[in-house]
Structure 1
Amino acid sequence: MDLPLMIDRLRSYVEDETRTGDATALNAFADRLVHRYTELGATARRVPSPTGDHVVADFPGQGALSDAAPVLFLAHHDTVWPIGQLAGAMPWRLQDGVIHGPGVFDMKGGLVILETALAHLVGNGADHRPVQVIVVADEEVGSPSARELVTTESAGVVAAFGLEPPHPNGDLKTSRWGSTRIRITVTGREAHAALDPESGISAIDELVDQLIAVRSVVARHEHVLCNVGTLEGGGRTNVVAGSAWADIGFRFMDPETESAVLEAVTALPALRAGAVVEVKVMSNRPAWQPSAATEDLLAKVVAAGESIGQEVGGAAASGAADTNLTGWLGIPTLDGLGPVGKGAHAVHEQAVAASLAERAALVAAIITTI
């Protein structure tokens, strides 16, 4: 594996900034991926989506396994970072063997790892199953436009692997908590805050009380994470706010808890006469729970790692990703084949440079042995 070439490729990907929802930037990057995958022998295409197109690529198998069921790799090309982050708080730099920059860890490093492994296989002619690749454009907001695509395209695959970051020690991820985003929207009634406050209904006050009620629901259940990520409402201090909304992210260890919490939250009544409260599910990825099938797959990956002198481990994870969908469907699934590093969604995001080549070698070994 040519590490300097991988680092150069990663830099070019990071410098092509792709914030979730920026369709123009995401589609331009998708074109790059389609071109690259086609160069490597795949049939690749963009799958249209209003907020940014997804990419699907099908690589033929080789030798005795050319007609076997395919192995699936899941990735995404969106990041949480706004355009301009690279020129501001997070410039690209390689220092003491560590790469810094927006998206190096989550997850453009994973994209480089995958294409390097595929190029290696094309070059050495090793027998392997067909390989299917899905690169999603809105993973960072729960893949609302890609869920059906992942579900449909994963039918019939023998196993699924994610290119998300691994655990801090490099272990792969063998299960994930479920993730659901909801939006609570409150409609009140505007009025002059000093001259006629009694005729108004404060949407902000109602929303604050709704969020307290949500916390009360969450407190009744174990193994639930809840984060209010966005708040917006009102306009002026002399006007009773007529509208407000909040986006909330939940994490659930199991589907039973998810159902109970969401049922309770969506049933919360308005606390002020005349206020209207609406709750909408924005995205959902169900819990991917531990299974014997995944343990068997991990054993095969451990063996693949041993064949190239790498020690591979696995453990459960609390964060969600598109592998939730394949794991939930019962497909043997592992995630965390991205580079070792830290700082996902933080300004100190970084990846260990040497791990790019190590992970590419592991991915190539997986493809030729699964």
Structure 2
Amino acid sequence: MGNPQEQTTAILERLKRYVGFETPTGDPDALADLAAVIRGDFEALGATASVDEHPTGDHLVLDFPGIGRRRDDKPLLFLAHHDTVWPKGQLERMPLVLEGDTLRGPGSYDMKAGLAIFHEALTLLGRHDLERGPIRLIVVADEEIGSPTARALIEAQVGHVSCAIGLEPPHTGGELKTSRWGSTRVRLSVVGKEAHAALAPETGISAIDELVDQLLNIRLLMRGYPSVLCNFGTVSGGGRTNVVAGTAFAEIGLRFKDAATEKVVLASLLATEPIRPGAVLTVELLSNRPAWAAGESHDALFADAVKAAKAVGQTLEGRAATGAADTNLTGGSGIPSLDGLGASGCGAHAVDEQVHIPSLAPRAQLLAAIMHTL
């Protein structure tokens, strides 16, 4: 399907341009700058663009009309994001470097390469005048913190699209992601009562002591659910060693293999009560992506992708992923879903983040075949 070297060059040039825009989650101006470029690139390929506006960053929806006999089919939904975990200035500390078969740079692997590959796939279809059904691409602005403002937009696609395909990177071995564990962030906040730690400790209520006991209880709870991954990611509170702490909080990351366990554990956490008289405990669900389990419709979509891969001389394998993404929302909502169609590489969220360049053209050809056949 065309010249792989020319495809690689085109994808690389677009990817380098996208990485040149620093887009930390929560910076609406920075996100808008790149979104404008992405919008222009895809409008040039025939997309109709709309914007889902939010104060922390707007989401971009791009609709491409069907071509040929399938123009009235339900759209294929593709999911991507343009926010990254990296702060402004990271490009100075971690510059864009092209070296051999590797491109390094913040946000390159997770997941601006997926956007560049997707553009080349559409270009290939147009160049070869291949028919396809309608396509919808949603580019999310807050995926890296659980898509709190994009969730409603994504879940609203239920019943309006035929399937959902994520442009996140594949597993490190190149396998696609055929299901995902659920991912939830919970914040425990405690308000106690300050007092002098030596002269009148009995008049105080230690928020730190309350929080520590709550975390120990959570550890005990998790022993009954060995499949759940639980990480106390942030713990903070108090201020001085001679003052009984008046406030404390912890943020907890949880990963669930299945929806049933997720439901039970979250219900237990949200029902947590204070241990100490007078302490005020708040349990807040910061973000939640439901478990997306393998099932008949998801398996059928993967089988279709395997057939499309064979048409362009590729083989595909797939397995579950412990990491979460927006396909949790589609898969958990019953939309047949598949993920990992982005570039191979490694180092997501790490200073060695990198894209494996030889994977770019084959991924574009695979995506084009999927668009043409599904």
Q: 2 CA distance for matches of 1:73 and 1:302?
A: 17
TM-score with structure 1 setting the length: 0.96
- The residue that corresponds to 1:66 in the other structure is 71
Aligned: 1:358 with 2:350: no
Q: 1 CA distance for matches of 2:284 and 2:365?
A: 43
Q: 1 CA distance for matches of 2:207 and 2:10?
A: 54
TM superposition shift of 1:154: 4.3
Aligned partners of 1:75 and 1:134 also within 8 Å: yes
- The residue that corresponds to 1:84 in the other structure is 89
- The residue that corresponds to 2:231 in the other structure is 227
Aligned: 1:299 with 2:299: no
Q: Which aligned pairs between 1:99-110 and structure 2 lie closer than 5 A?
A: 99-110=103-114
- The residue that corresponds to 1:265 in the other structure is 269
TM superposition shift of 1:352: 0.1
Q: Which aligned pairs between 1:34-183 and structure 2 lie closer than 5 A?
A: 34-88=39-93, 90-183=94-187
Give the counterpart letter for 2:271 in structure 1: A
Identity, in percent, stands at: 54
- The residue that corresponds to 2:331 in the other structure is 327
SS of corresponding position for 1:153: coil
Task: Count residues in correspondence.
Answer: 369
Q: 2 CA distance for matches of 1:159 and 1:91?
A: 37
Q: 1 CA distance for matches of 2:15 and 2:45?
A: 17
For structure 2, the residue ranges without an aligned partner over 5 or more in a row are 1-5
Q: Which aligned pairs between 1:22-41 and structure 2 lie closer than 5 A?
A: 22-41=27-46
SS of corresponding position for 2:281: strand
Q: 2 CA distance for matches of 1:186 and 1:130?
A: 50
Q: Deviations over 1:134-167 (max 9, x none)?
A: 1111111111111110011343211110011101
- The residue that corresponds to 2:372 in the other structure is 368
TM superposition shift of 1:273: 2.1
TM superposition shift of 1:230: 2.2
SS of corresponding position for 1:160: strand
Q: 2 CA distance for matches of 1:284 and 1:135?
A: 19
Give the counterpart letter for 1:50 in structure 2: P
SS of corresponding position for 2:77: strand
Cα RMSD (Å) = 1.5
- The residue that corresponds to 2:3 in the other structure is none
Aligned: 1:345 with 2:349: yes
- The residue that corresponds to 1:241 in the other structure is 245
SS of corresponding position for 2:18: helix
Q: 2 CA distance for matches of 1:206 and 1:348?
A: 39
> Structure 1 365/124 Cα, relative in aligned 2: closer, same or farther at 3 Å?
same
* Worse overlay, 13-22 or 57-66: 13-22
TM superposition shift of 1:120: 2.1
Aligned partners of 1:72 and 1:154 also within 8 Å: no
- The residue that corresponds to 1:193 in the other structure is 197
Q: Deviations over 1:183-216 (max 9, x none)?
A: 1111111223343333222222222222221111
Q: 1 CA distance for matches of 2:162 and 2:207?
A: 50
Give the counterpart letter for 1:16 in structure 2: F
Give the counterpart letter for 1:57 in structure 2: L
Q: 1 CA distance for matches of 2:334 and 2:348?
A: 27
Q: 1 CA distance for matches of 2:86 and 2:232?
A: 19
Give the counterpart letter for 2:23 in structure 1: T
Q: Deviations over 1:217-256 (max 9, x none)?
A: 1111131011122233223333322112222111111111
- The residue that corresponds to 1:10 in the other structure is 15
Q: Deviations over 1:40-72 (max 9, x none)?
A: 111012211121111101000101111111101
